[in-house]
Amino acid sequence: MVAAVEVTNVSKSFGDVEVLVNASLVVEAGTTLGLIGPSGAGKSTLLRCINHLETIDSGIIKVHGKLVGYRREGDRLFELGHGEIARRRADIGMVFQLFNLFPHMTAIENVMAGPVYVRGMDKGEARAVAMEHLRTVALENRADFYPSELSGGQQQRVGIARALAMDPKVMLLDEPTSSLDPELVGEVLDTMTELSGRGITMLVVTHEIGFARSSCDAVAIMVDGGIIEHGPPGEVLVNPKEERSRAFLRRVIA
């Protein structure tokens, strides 16, 4: 198995607050990992560190064997230049809790933005590719709608299509259903399940235990800035080793 994402002993503080404490995690290529845990455990921060939207204080984060925001000289890491970081980020897709679609662009323009501006693809070709991805998320008939004209679930599916359009090696999904109305959660989870079935590598921070159980190949539990549990959903969610894991699962499953 190839590690798509390899997080090794990563620590990070915001001022005096330690958010990540020696966190380590591996996501195998072609699998979906569900990252769960109580609020404030550092799940979103870990995700943002993986594509270097946040810097880290120590540790190693590799995506397909390559450091993202740093270059290593012995036991020291030096931050790369902005241009190089941008190039490395292009292979890592991200989906946000609040969608973060570009409001001044239509759905299809949002999906085209990456291929056109980052990959330098010609607009006609990018439009065709974007349409294909909108079809994947079942929104080809909303291509020319602005985000403000779409429902939350539709916006999030455009967000997923936008990330897919870069043909990423890894997709990071940061609580993709947390700001949706309950009746819209299903359509987004269905899309994610389909992507998971296609063998797209995904790291999903989620509160949907049902999704983690049925659609993830592995589940990890994060508490107080560290990963305390990692394994197949059948083990982690049913027979967790740590008491802190059991306490968390009792609260969310009860």
Partner 1 sequence: MSTAEARDAGPPVVTEPRRYGRWASAAGVLLLFYLIARPIYLNPLIDHSVIGEYLFHPVILGGVWVTLTIATSAMVLATVLGVTLGLMATSSNPVLTVINRAYIAFFRAVPLLVQILIWGNLSLLFRRIALSIPFTSITLFDLDTNDVMTTFVAGALGLGLHQAAYISEIVRAGLTSVDRGQRDAALSMGMQRRQVTFRVVLPQAMRVIVPPAGNEFISLLKASSLVFVIAGGDLLTKAQNIAATNLRVIELLTVASIWYLGMVAIATAGQRLIERRFSRGYRRDRTSTSRIRMTVRKVLAW
Residue choice 71, 79, 102, 232 for contact with partner 1 (CB under 8 A): 102
* Residue spans of alpha helices (H) in the chain: 43-50, 82-89, 107-113, 123-136, 152-164, 182-197, 209-215, 233-236, 243-253
- Asked whether position 238 contacts partner 1 by CB under 8 A, the answer is no
* Whole-angstrom distance, CA of residue 77 vs CA of residue 79: 7
Closer to partner 1 by Cβ: residue 92 or 180: 92
Residue choice 64, 146, 190, 207 for contact with partner 1 (CB under 8 A): 146
Site pattern 161..180 for partner 1 (x: CB under 8 A): -xx--x-----x--------
For the segment 65-84, give every residue that binds partner 1 (CB under 8 A).
Answer: 82-83
Closer to partner 1 by Cβ: residue 203 or 249: 203
Closer to partner 1 by Cβ: residue 22 or 179: 179
Residue choice 114, 225, 226, 233 for contact with partner 1 (CB under 8 A): 114
**Which amino acid type is present at position 94?**
M
Name every residue whose Cβ is closer than 8 Å to that of residue 128 and which is 6 or more positions away in sequence: none
* Whole-angstrom distance, CA of residue 82 vs CA of residue 87: 9
DSSP per residue over 178-243, as a string? TTS-HHHHHHHHHHHHHHHHTT--EEEE-S-HHHHHHH-SEEEEEETTEEEEEE-HHHHTTS-SSH
Closer to partner 1 by Cβ: residue 22 or 100: 100
Closer to partner 1 by Cβ: residue 71 or 241: 71
Residue choice 11, 22, 100, 151 for contact with partner 1 (CB under 8 A): 100
Smallest distance from partner 1 to CB 127, Å: 17
